[in-house]
A = this chain, B = another copy of it.
Amino acid sequence: MDAFSTASVLNRMPMFRHLESEQLYLLSRHTREINATKGQRLFNKGEQAEGFYYVLDGKIKLAFVSSRGTEKIVDIVAGGENFGESMMLSSQPWPYYAQVLLQSRLLYIKGEAFTQVVHGNPRVAQLLLTSMSRRVCHLFADMEALCLQSSRERVVGYLLREIEQQRQRGETDLTIELPDTKANTASLLNLTPETFSRIIHTLDREKTISVSRRTVTVLDLERLQEGCGC
C-alpha cells in the first residue's frame, strides 16, 4: 500500500504502461487503493466527481436512480476497466451511483495529479481520447437500442454482441455468462426481471438458446440473428 507498490500497480494499467517512474510516483501519491466489500457504495449520484476509478478485480454496478426510487443499471464494470474520467474532467457531479457487487479492489486516481500527467504526456492524452471516443460510440449504440428496439430485440442484440466480442477474442464456444443476477442483467437492458425472464424462456422453448443459471448457450445462431432486428 506504499507509494512504490501503488506506482507499480498503476504501471500495469494500459493508460500508464509507458510512463516514466517519476510520473508514476507523482500519480501514486494521489492514488488510493480501495478494498471494497459487497454492497458497499463508492459514491452517490449527485456527489462531485474529483477523481476516477480503475477496477483491478471484482465487479461494480453503476446505476441511475429515479425520483420514484427505481433504478436503471448503466454498466457493470469488471477488472481492467475504468470509469468516471468524463465526470472528473468536466467536474460534473456523478450521474450515477456506484455499488460493489462482489469483493473488489480498485484504484481511485485524483483529478489534479491526473490532469497534470495528461498535460505533460501526449501519449496519455491520446490513450484517454481513444478510450473516451469508444465510450461515446458505445453510448450512442445503447441509446439507439433503447429508443428503437423492442424488449426482445434488446435481449437478442445483447446476446449477439456478447458472442461477437468473444469471437474477436478467439473464443469459439457459443456460451455467455451473464454479468450478474438476471434481475441486474434485465436492468442493464432497461427491462423488468419479469419481462427478461419471459423472453429468455421463450427463446429457450424455441430451442434458440438454452439457459441454466447464469449461463446462456446459443443453440441456433442463425435463428437468433433473424430475431434481432438488424
Contact = CB atoms under 8 A, between A and B. Distances in A.
Contact of A66 (B128, B141, B143, B148): B148
Interface string A77-94: 000000001111110100
Contact of A90 (B86, B134, B144): B134
A139 B146 CA distance: 13
B132 A92 contact: no
A124 to B, nearest CB: 10
Contact of A136 (B68, B119, B130, B139): B139
B137 A140 contact: no
A40 interface: no
Interface residues of A, number: 44
A129 interface: yes
A19 interface: no
A90 B131 CA distance: 8
A67 B130 contact: no
A214 interface: no
Contacts of A147: 64, 72, 146, 190
Contacts of A134: 90
Interface in A186-230: 190, 229-230
Nearest to A121: B122
Interface of A: 64, 66-68, 70-72, 74, 85-90, 92, 95-96, 118-119, 122, 125-126, 128-130, 132-137, 139-144, 146-149, 190, 229-230
Given A87-B133, A90-B137, 5 more contacts: A68-B229, A70-B148, A74-B140, A86-B133, A87-B137
13 contacts: A64-B143, A64-B144, A64-B148, A66-B148, A67-B230, A89-B133, A92-B137, A125-B129, A132-B133, A135-B136, A139-B143, A142-B143, A146-B147
